[in-house]
Chain A
Amino acid sequence: MGDFFSQFATLFENYDVLGAFWVNIQLTFWAALLALVIGTVLALMRISPIPSLAWVGTAYVTIFRNTPLTIIMVFMTLGVWGQLKFELSQDFASNFFRLAVVALAVYHAAFVCEAIRSGVNTVPLGQAEAARAIGLSFLPAARIVILPQAFRGAVAPLGNTLIALIKNSTVAAAAGVATETSTLMKNMIEFNSSLIYAIFLTFAIGYVILVIPVGVATTALSRRLAVRR
C-alpha cells in the first residue's frame, strides 16, 4: 500500500501533473465561453422568424453535431493552419492552443445550441406573445423575456455539455497541444511503464475530481433557478 503511494509520489515529482490538468481547464474555460456565445447565436437563429437564418442554424448544428471532434481538431491544424495558413498567434504553442479552443468551441456550440433550444421549449408560447404584444421586437423579446427563462430551463443540459467538454478537451492533443493531460499520460507510460496502474488512476481520479462538482453544481443550480409558473 505504502509502495503504491510512493508510485504516485514518483509521478508527481517527475511530471507536472497539475500543470497538465491546468492546461485542460484553460482549454475548457475558453472553449466553453466561445461555445456559449456561438451556441446562443445559433439558438437565436433557429428560433428566429427569418427562415434563411433558421436554416443556417439547423445546417450548422447538423454538421457539427455529427462530425467527430478529432476530425474537426485535425482539420483545424492541418487544414486551417497548415494549408490555409490561418494563424491565431505568432507563438507556435499558443497558436495550437487557440486553434484547439476554436475546434472545441465550434463543435460544442452545436450541443449548447440544442441545450438552449430545449430550454426555450420549457418557456410557454404565451411568454413570447405577451412580449410581442407590449411592443418588443424579436431580439429584445428574446433577450429580455425568452432567453433568461430558457437558460434557467437549460442548466442541466448545459452542465452535461460542459462535462463532455472537460473530457473532450483532451482531444486537443490531436491539434498539437503537447502540454495537456493525455499527452502527459502518453509520456509517463513510455518512460515509467512499470507504474501504469498508478498512471491510469492519476488521470482517472483527476477527471472525476473535475467533473463531479460540475454535475453536482448544475443539478443544484437547475433546481434553484427553475422558473416557477
Chain B
Amino acid sequence: MEDPRTDPTAAADPTTPPTGQGAPHERAVDHRPDTDAEPVVRLTGVQKHFGDLHVLRDIDLAVAPGEVLVVIGPSGSGKSTLCRAINRLETIDEGEITVDGQPLPAEGRALARLRSEVGMVFQSFNLFAHKSVLDNVTLGPVKVRGRSRAEARKEAMGLLERVGVANQAEKMPAQLSGGQQQRVAIARALAMHPKVMLFDEPTSALDPEMINEVLDVMVELAREGMTMIVVTHEMGFARKAAHRVVFMADGQIVEQATPEEFFTNPRSDRAKDFLSKILTH
C-alpha cells in the first residue's frame, strides 16, 4: 500500500474526477507539450561552483512550450540553484541558458526585462511586506510594464479571484496564512504574463493543511498550458500534472522520465534509494 501522504492532491482537488480503485493518480493535465517548437528554456553545458563545491555539473535541459517539468532530488543536489540560475539570481560559470531563444543578458535593463518574463515562486513566499496584497500584484505591471494603475488593479483582482484570495486584497501579507500568501505570490508572478513559471519548493514551508490549496492552483495552471518548472517532492502533483520528472543528485541530472515511469520503475540506484526514503517515512 502506498502512503496516502505522497498524494495530497488526490482527495482535495474538486476538479479531479472520483478516483477509481485502479487509478489512484488520475492525470489532471492531458495536453502534450509542443516539443517541435523552440524550447522556452534551454540549458546547455551549464556549470556552477560555490567555491570548491561543484553545484551544477554539465546540465543540459530543454523545456518545451506547455511542458510541466518536475525537478526532484536529495537536499543539496542543486535544484534551487538550477531554478535561480534560470532567472539569473545566481550566475553560472560556464555554459549557456536561453529563455525563449534569447541568451540571458549579463545585467542591466535587458536582464530585468528578461526576468520580468520568467515568473518565480519562492519557498518563503517573499511577498513585499510593506505593500497590500493588491499592491503586491499590481507593482510589476505598473512599475515594470508601465501599465495604468486602474488597468493593473482590474487584472490583479481577476488573478486574486482565480487563486481564491480576492477577499483579502486590501490586507497586508503578514495578516494572511502561509497558503494564502503563496497563492498571492503565484498571482503576482502571473500578473507579468510570464513565458515560464519557476517554483522552488512552493509548499515545503506550509502547514500540511495548506499544501493542497496551493497545489490546486498549480494544477489548474498546468492544465491551462503554462510552461512550468517545479522543484517539489509532492509526488501527487508530479503524477497529476507533470509531463516529465528530472531527478538530480550531486549537481547532475541522473535520470529523467515520465512521472509514471520514474515513480514505479526508477532506473538509477540513486533514484531508487531516494524514492525508498521519501516513500517509507
Contacts and interface: CB of A to CB of B under 8 A. Distances in A.
Contacts of B172: 228
Contacts of B143: 136, 140, 144
Identify which of A134, A135, A137, A152 gathers the most chain B CB atoms within 10 Å of its CB.
A134
B116 interface: yes
A137 B112 contact: yes
A129 B124 CA distance: 11
A227 B130 contact: yes
B112 A136 contact: yes
A2 interface: no
A133 B114 CA distance: 9
A130 B126 contact: yes
B162 interface: no
B109 to A, nearest CB: 6
Interface in B49-85: none
A124 B174 CA distance: 14
Interface string B168-202: 00001011000000000100110010000000000
Question: What 8 A-B pairs come out closest when comparing CB atoms?
Answer: A135-B116, A126-B126, A130-B126, A134-B140, A228-B174, A133-B120, A137-B112, A135-B144
A148 interface: yes
B229 interface: no
Interface residues of A, number: 22
A223 to B, nearest CB: 15
A149 B129 contact: yes
Interface of A: 49, 124, 126-127, 129-137, 140, 144-145, 148-149, 152, 227-229
Contact of B122 (A126, A149, A228): A126
A229 B144 contact: no
Given A144-B139, A144-B143, A228-B174, A135 B128 contact: no
Interface string B100-136: 0000000111011111111110101111111000000
A7 B54 CA distance: 79
Contact of B118 (A127, A129, A133): A133
Contacts of B116: 134-135
10 contacts: A126-B122, A126-B126, A129-B126, A130-B185, A134-B115, A137-B109, A137-B112, A149-B129, A227-B129, A228-B175
Interface residues of B, number: 34
Contacts of A134: 115-116, 139-140, 144, 188-189, 192
Contacts of B192: 134-135
Given A135-B113, A228-B174, A145 B128 contact: yes
A126 B144 contact: no
A228 B119 CA distance: 25
A149 B117 CA distance: 26
A211 to B, nearest CB: 29
Given A133-B118, A133-B120, A135-B112, A149 B130 contact: yes
A229 B115 contact: no
Nearest to A134: B140
B87 interface: yes
B89 interface: yes
Contacts of A126: 122, 124-126
A135 B122 contact: no
Contacts of A145: 128
Contact of A127 (B109, B126, B140): B126
A84 to B, nearest CB: 38
A127 to B, nearest CB: 6
A135 B188 CA distance: 12
Nearest to A49: B107
Contacts of B117: 135
Contacts of B112: 132, 135-137
Contacts of B122: 126, 129-130
B129 A228 contact: yes
Contacts of A144: 139, 143
A133 B129 CA distance: 16
Given A135-B144, A137-B109, 16 more contacts: A124-B124, A129-B89, A130-B126, A132-B89, A132-B112, A134-B139, A134-B189, A135-B117, A135-B192, A136-B140, A140-B143, A140-B144, A144-B139, A144-B143, A145-B128, A228-B175
